[in-house]
Chain A
Amino acid sequence: AQTVTQSQPEMSVQEAETVTLSCTYDTSENNYYLFWYKQPPSRQMILVIRQEAYKQQNATENRFSVNFQKAAKSFSLKISDSQLGDTAMYFCAFIGSGSARQLTFGSGTQLTVLP
């Protein structure tokens, strides 16, 4: 079974600064996908970024980028130029490429961007 661990329940960052959220996972699969989802107070889960395990290049989406270390089973999210609208709960999630297609989520990190 896969597990996803987010060890930072809460974090804060000043507006315009950079912040990194940590995530580690455990799996015996060789091919899988990793995601970061954002959940603002509106409750809507929004996909922020995805990473395929077979790709060595780290994914980037505008101000969001990941540091994917496959051997260490680490998948951190970096948010650059933080904005007030980035305030949300962030979830790291894993999905294997096998028949079990459900997401396994970490416990989440509450990020607050301070003005």
Chain B
Amino acid sequence: GAGVSQSPSNKVTEKGKDVELRCDPISGHTALYWYRQSLGQGLEFLIYFQGNSAPDKSGLPSDRFSAERTGGSVSTLTIQRTQQEDSAVYLCASSGGQQSYEQYFGPGTRLTVT
């Protein structure tokens, strides 16, 4: 597709369950980012992938959060043992090409932990 896609659009899960969120970046973009948007914390950076380099995980809030990017394309954000404070919108963005400082966002996944 032409833009960044994310799935699922919405996810409701019970506290303690694991969840996986998927991001499919714009074709050819080498950089991929995950952000979290919550009412209390605004927009926070989580993790950044650039090509085959080791990811920048400096924004991950706890070791329950992890992410991988397979084949330099699709990325999965995994949250283990979800807590109510994990409820938020998780946004994925990608960038690349000549205008590599511009990030293009997907529609996000709204996660609700009950």
Contacts and interface: CB of A to CB of B under 8 A. Distances in A.
Given A102-B45, A102-B56, A105-B42, A45 B102 contact: no
Interface residues of A, number: 21
A46 B91 CA distance: 12
B89 interface: yes
A44 B107 contact: yes
Nearest to B108: A43
B83 interface: no
Contacts of A97: 101
A102 B48 contact: yes
**Interface of B: prevailing SS:** strand
B104 A43 contact: no
Contacts of B45: 102-104
Interface string B98-114: 00011111111010000
A68 interface: no
Q: Which of A45, A47, A97, A105 has the most CB of B within 10 A?
A: A45
Nearest to B31: A101
A94 B95 CA distance: 15
Interface string A90-103: 01000101001111
Nearest to A100: B56
A99 to B, nearest CB: 8
Nearest to A45: B105
Given A43-B108, A45-B91, A108-B42, A103 B103 contact: yes
A109 to B, nearest CB: 12
B59 interface: yes
20 contacts: A33-B101, A42-B107, A43-B89, A43-B107, A43-B108, A44-B105, A44-B107, A45-B108, A46-B105, A47-B103, A50-B101, A50-B102, A100-B56, A101-B50, A101-B56, A103-B33, A103-B45, A103-B103, A104-B45, A108-B42
Given A47-B102, A101-B95, 9 more contacts: A35-B102, A43-B110, A44-B108, A47-B104, A91-B43, A103-B35, A103-B43, A104-B45, A105-B43
